[in-house]
Structure 1
Amino acid sequence: MKFLIRPGNDPFARADATLLSAMGLPGGGIVKVGKTHILIRPGEVTDSSALMLGERTMANAGVKAGETIDVKRVLLPQAQRVVLAGDELPIEPRHAARALQGIPVTVGDTVVVDPSYGSGESSEPIEVRVVGVIPTPAGTVGSGTVVGSEGDTAPSAPETQPAGLPAGETVTTAEAMLTGLETELETLAGWLALLTSPGNLPGTWGLPSVAGVALEGPAGVGKSELVNAAAAAAGAKVNEISLELVFKPEKLLDLVEKGVKESVGPTVIFLDRLDAVAGDEGMFRNQMGAVLRWFLDAVAEKPGLACVLGVSSLEALDDTIAASDLLPRKLTIPPPDLERRKLLFEAALGKVPSDDIDFDVLGAKSAGFSGADVIAAVVHASAMVVRSNSKATTDIVLSAIEGTTPSLGSVSLGEMPSYGFERVANLDEVKQRLTEAVIWPIQNPERFESMGIEPPRGILLHGPPGTGKTYVTRALAHEAGAAFFSVKGAELLDKFVGESERGVRELFTRARSVAPSIIFFDEFDALAPVRGNSNNSVTDSVVAALLTEIDGVSSRGDVVVIGATN
């Protein structure tokens, strides 16, 4: 978007709120202006197309007042290391890191630091020049960023670099973990930019009070990495509080109260592993819920402060928290599906010396892997590469995958049958029809879309017992490279109200998380009889739940439902 440069006095850029909203930055964020990257906030401007820049910022960007320049929204990674010019700095590195928290820096920038962070008694602002940003030429300063001078002997690459890999070939964990989460990153960054904006922007716009966002996803899918990247894009620092070892409401209250009081400037408080303190029903859960409600109120009342509640399942939250108006946005990071697992392996192996790796095979063989599991497998493969003084191959990575236990489980996330159609004698017509209805849509979805053909969402097999219905379906899953879920009809029925329907929902959720997948209902007639013909209201509810889930199955063929009956 084009802006007219006008002189300003703020350390960050200011622009018209309407134009920022049109750019997808309602509360501000990070933009690229000329040669540099800067924080931008909504505020009073001389005219709607004006971009207010300070003198130092104009110098960094290489622009002058009166010029018209293109301004682009960007998402910068958190810098691992920032190098400042000079052998000796006028400010201690730890103070510099704290002063630059949440600020984007670009190689060549001169940044101004408040004199209170300096080692002397001067009241003049401190100017330092950025001569290095690792691993990219631009990034944001976060809680994990190391700031130092040219004279420092600190390593320029993470200490976790596998021995023997060439310098610069380090696998950046955060970058790999965020692969495939671009939409979630954009959404969360927008919310955090709005909530941490100075001057209580939501209140100015007449919006209701909001504390933050609930972030749902199993361990290892990238919640921490997502929060840090989104906060950096919003120009905020992160205060992460892990609740894994919190056993008393008083301890939780102390932690969150301290976090709220010590937050200065745009800050995001990330309560990670909230499930650990959720507890079962009873007094403990009620007390924890009361503390969290106080916390949400305190965050909503303090300008520039937002929170993210990290949970593996929203059901772990107290109902009053989950339904709170202060927590209106819920984001879900599902376990990586086949496509994202492929992308994760591509990103993680991007800098590892390799030779013609088949990422389709790696994705198919890693069902149940979280993003952290993928990283662990790649590190294992990198160690094998160093020991053998060779390049990574498909076989080496597959060996590493076999040596890595899926943290998301294997049985609950389906299985991969070990035999295909070659083990199924005769039934040629059945195999051909199953190939056309299931395998083709899974392996070539774009062809069906281009021709406007919608593949079937489900198939019903019928025949006497012992004719091979289960056997041929398992072979079909192998041929399609799909996870296989086999369910006996009566297994999902539960005497407690709502439990059967929840079982149906959880089954489809697991199937979608490892798509492509096949759900096989054996004895389907026991699970879904004709509605109204049963004296049991549970079966009628299950039929309704099944219809709802099947209607929600993607027409791309990622999840296929197969029922079998006599």
Structure 2
Amino acid sequence: MAQPDLTLTASLRPAALDARRGIVRLHPEAFTALALRPGDPVRLAGRRVTAGVAVPAEPTASAALLYADDLMLGNLGVRDGGQVTVSPLPVTAARRVVLAGPAQIAAVVSPEMLRLALLGKVVTTGDDVSLLPQDVLPDASVRSLVEAARRSLSNSVGYAWTSSLLTVVDAEPGSSLVTMDTLVGWEHGPATHGSGGTAGGARPGASGPAGLGRAEFGAGSGNGGGPRAGGPTDVTAPGRPGAREDGGRAEAEAAPSVDELPGLRAQAEQLTELLDLGFHHREVLGRLGTAVSLGVLVAGPAGSGKAALVRAVAAQVGARVCPLWAPEVAALTNQAAADRLRAAATEAQAGTGPAVLLVTDVEALAPADESGPVATVFRQVVAEALRAGLAVVCTTGRPEALDPALSGPDLLSLRISVPLPDAALRREQLTVLTRQVPLAEDVRLDEVAGRTPGFVAADLAALVREAGVRAALRQKAAETPTVAMADFAAALEVVRPTTMAASTLELAAVTLDDVGGLTEVKQTLTESVLWPLTYPDTFARLGVQPPRGVLLYGPPGCGKTYLVTALAGSGRANVLSVKGAELLSKWVGESERAVRELFRRAREAAPTLVFLDEVDALAPVRGQATDGGTTDRVVAALLTELDGVETLRNVVVVGATNRPDLVDPALLRPGRLERLVYVPPPDGPARAEILRAAARDVPLAPEVDLAALGAELDGFSAADCAALVREAALAAMRESLTATTVTAAHVATARSRVRPSLDPAQVAWLAAYAEKRAG
């Protein structure tokens, strides 16, 4: 039976969310005539034949028009007003799609990210496609994964990712739909490794003992407790057969493959090209009259897979790996350390074939602050090894602590950065780590990835192991045990991220919906904080920079810190929290260094929310301090980080203070903490909401009227209301330790003990300040 078709007139008028996403809009009558449903693929024939996803236009649209964007019209080869024939297209899943694009895009966008950007799109060989993810998805269970990919693309490529175009150079004959099972790759480059698994993250049919995840990425650092005593922070593949964890002194018998390192393929490609050229094609360099230096510095968070990356690439190019753990050598005497370094280089040169001298945690041998005789010998050994044809690859988790002289042109001339994984990359890593783990049907790896901000691959490996242990304890007698979502939830309570342990704000189980009252404040925070972190491509599409920061100010105890905690729970972003005074140091230069380090980690962990509590102590008005200029220099460092030459992308700063007049005015101008949000003391209804939230788990007697109580508590802050509920429960305990309810008498007793803490003069001054700012 022939497929029905319609000939319509193309109209260049796409909806804002359709632009460059492979969507066309048709009148509802066209859907009826073609027997289509919303989201069905359609065949489109103009000068060229292509395909798209059909979505209904508004009822007031013309039934004779096909609404499309410029990318779709370009693929059709027609202009605005041209004729296009539309017909239904049977859904065919694409088995393989190969794309070509700008070199700078292919270098940073992994095949996994590429597949998520194309997910739900119908592609045809020769078409141009964009990286903007499809919003009209056939399977709603992958929406969170695509949202994570959206943020990852923004982090990797910057704002240019929304306008970059790629070309489909190879796909199925005709047109086909990209799914999570489609093999997607770059032309002459890497591709996804087999099936992407089910959309929800569960892998039916996976076999293997519970809890035996393959930690191919990096260190098995336990339950987030940091590096093992006597071993490096980046040992390859604990739990892999033949791998030995002996402080880096012996090479694992089996190295991981590059395909087992999702998120590191661009770095692996860069390192592979260098080592292959230096080991196997030196004659080409000789004919060109040049040479190549095989000194490489791999920088990235501890446990992110730096050593695993080097071993995988070395195995791919056929080179031996001779490991050396720098802290072990640095612990020796100067003479013994020098002898150990020279012996390691001699041992690497003594074997047959190409070799890589792998030095992990190199900052221990060449620290930036005190370059001693061992550092001098180390630089000499590295230079001699490179001249002898060896490759010297050093890894570090603290590049700022490394002697800059080691990055000279004749030493470690190439630097490769391994970023902290975002939610989408954590999802890919969890897929590999659970490859041998039988997962229950309720497991959603994308949800696990969303709940693990700040986790590196080693932390995820520890999480999988802990979930396996919980599953084993729960199913000791089961013949076919499985790891359930509850096991991952239990493991998340004990496994902590190692990379952000010093200053990570633990995500509480609250969101802005749990905050009583403050409707305008919550709306402002949603627009200024959550939107830039969640929808960076929308800001890029509209051609505006998102707000850089927000300053919350108001009386003490009115919920400024609680609002930030709720933001952290709502946004699923990495959260760095510091008190203003924590960054100040009496040593010259240390405070500025602490500020730079804070924002460096925020950039690596983007999307990130940086919370600066008591910001008036950190950034007071310049020129008035009596501390020798320390705070003035800190303010200058903050201004540079917030609005300097180096871009602060996908990072939002939230400050909190009770004294906004003491904050340096330069910090409050547009481009910095540009939105000042007044958090007022709660009124009667808001106090009642706060009391209800505080008494959620308190067994109140029926006669306790929280609405009436809230109306009586003039001058009470949010903290005072919570203290009142707590004191009422203590009054019940004083009366009887077997008490089961808190009565109105107990509340009255607490009312006589808890006094309002708000200062009317301060509240009036802050309200006047807010009115002045608004005016």
Q: TM-score, normalised by structure 1?
A: 0.63
From the superposition, tell whether residues 341 and 554 of structure 1 become closer, same or farther in structure 2 (CA, over 3 Å): farther
Letter in 1 for 2:449: G
Distance, in Å, in 1 between the alignment partners of 2:501 and 2:516 is 29
Residue matched to 2:397? 312
Report deviation, 1:216.
Answer: 1.9
CA contact (8 A) 1:384 1:396 kept: yes
Q: 1:273 aligns with which of 338, 361, 366?
A: 361
Aligned residues with identical type, % of pairs: 37
1:549 aligns with 2:641: yes
Q: Where is the strand percentage greater, Structure 1 or Structure 2?
A: 1
The secondary structure found in structure 1 opposite 2:656 is strand
Residue matched to 1:538? 630
Residue matched to 1:342? 427
The secondary structure found in structure 1 opposite 2:391 is strand
Distance, in Å, in 2 between the alignment partners of 1:527 and 1:476 is 22
Residue deviations 1:289-337 (CA, integer Å, cap 9, x gap): 122122222122123x211012222244334324454222222324333
Residue matched to 1:227? 310
The within-5 A match list for 1:119-518 is 159=241, 178-199=261-282, 202=285, 204-207=287-290, 210-246=293-329, 247=332, 248-278=336-366, 286-303=372-389, 305-323=390-408, 325-354=410-439, 355-382=441-468, 387=475, 388=478, 389-408=480-499, 410-518=501-609
The secondary structure found in structure 2 opposite 1:491 is helix
Deviates more, 1:220-229 or 1:308-317: 308-317
Distance, in Å, in 1 between the alignment partners of 2:470 and 2:559 is 43
CA contact (8 A) 1:260 1:298 kept: no
CA contact (8 A) 2:272 2:317 kept: yes
Residue matched to 1:562? 654
The secondary structure found in structure 2 opposite 1:369 is coil
The secondary structure found in structure 2 opposite 1:291 is helix
The secondary structure found in structure 2 opposite 1:518 is strand
Letter in 2 for 1:287: P
Distance, in Å, in 2 between the alignment partners of 1:479 and 1:325 is 49
The within-5 A match list for 1:26-45 is none
Report deviation, 1:348.
Answer: 1.9
Deviates more, 1:227-236 or 1:469-478: 227-236
Distance, in Å, in 2 between the alignment partners of 1:334 and 1:72 is 24
Report deviation, 1:439.
Answer: 1.9
Distance, in Å, in 2 between the alignment partners of 1:280 and 1:451 is 44
From the superposition, tell whether residues 187 and 433 of structure 1 become closer, same or farther in structure 2 (CA, over 3 Å): same
CA contact (8 A) 1:413 1:510 kept: no
Residue matched to 1:527? 618
Distance, in Å, in 1 between the alignment partners of 2:260 and 2:496 is 18
How many correspondences in the alignment? Answer: 407
Residue deviations 1:442-471 (CA, integer Å, cap 9, x gap): 233344444444321211223333332222
From the superposition, tell whether residues 409 and 454 of structure 1 become closer, same or farther in structure 2 (CA, over 3 Å): closer
CA contact (8 A) 2:363 2:403 kept: no
From the superposition, tell whether residues 297 and 278 of structure 1 become closer, same or farther in structure 2 (CA, over 3 Å): closer
Query: Gapped runs of 5+ residues in structure 2?
Result: 1-102, 108-186, 194-238, 244-254, 660-775
Distance, in Å, in 2 between the alignment partners of 1:249 and 1:177 is 35
CA contact (8 A) 2:278 2:292 kept: no
The secondary structure found in structure 2 opposite 1:228 is helix
Residue matched to 2:50? none
The secondary structure found in structure 2 opposite 1:271 is strand
CA contact (8 A) 1:484 1:517 kept: yes
The secondary structure found in structure 1 opposite 2:415 is strand
From the superposition, tell whether residues 456 and 401 of structure 1 become closer, same or farther in structure 2 (CA, over 3 Å): same
Letter in 2 for 1:401: L
CA contact (8 A) 2:363 2:396 kept: yes
Distance, in Å, in 1 between the alignment partners of 2:633 and 2:287 is 47
Report deviation, 1:221.
Answer: 1.1
Between structure 1 and structure 2, the one with the greater Rg is 2
From the superposition, tell whether residues 241 and 339 of structure 1 become closer, same or farther in structure 2 (CA, over 3 Å): same
Letter in 1 for 2:397: S
Report deviation, 1:371.
Answer: 0.8
The secondary structure found in structure 2 opposite 1:497 is coil
Letter in 2 for 1:294: Q
The secondary structure found in structure 2 opposite 1:484 is strand
Distance, in Å, in 1 between the alignment partners of 2:402 and 2:285 is 26
Report deviation, 1:502.
Answer: 0.9
Report deviation, 1:392.
Answer: 3.3
Query: Gapped runs of 5+ residues in structure 1?
Result: 1-20, 26-70, 78-156, 162-171
Letter in 2 for 1:237: R
Residue matched to 1:50? none
The secondary structure found in structure 2 opposite 1:187 is helix
CA contact (8 A) 2:299 2:417 kept: yes
Letter in 2 for 1:327: L
From the superposition, tell whether residues 328 and 177 of structure 1 become closer, same or farther in structure 2 (CA, over 3 Å): same
Deviates more, 1:373-382 or 1:290-299: 373-382
The secondary structure found in structure 2 opposite 1:245 is helix
Distance, in Å, in 1 between the alignment partners of 2:592 and 2:622 is 15
Distance, in Å, in 2 between the alignment partners of 1:375 and 1:560 is 29
- Cα root mean square deviation, aligned: 3.7
Distance, in Å, in 1 between the alignment partners of 2:498 and 2:616 is 35
Q: TM-score, normalised by structure 2?
A: 0.47
CA contact (8 A) 1:524 1:563 kept: yes
Residue deviations 1:351-373 (CA, integer Å, cap 9, x gap): 53332533343123324432122
Distance, in Å, in 1 between the alignment partners of 2:394 and 2:190 is 25
Residue deviations 1:483-517 (CA, integer Å, cap 9, x gap): 43333323222232221111011112333344433
CA contact (8 A) 1:267 1:306 kept: yes
The secondary structure found in structure 1 opposite 2:328 is coil
Report deviation, 1:177.
Answer: 6.4
CA contact (8 A) 2:533 2:652 kept: no
Distance, in Å, in 1 between the alignment partners of 2:496 and 2:315 is 32
Letter in 1 for 2:265: E
Report deviation, 1:262.
Answer: 1.3
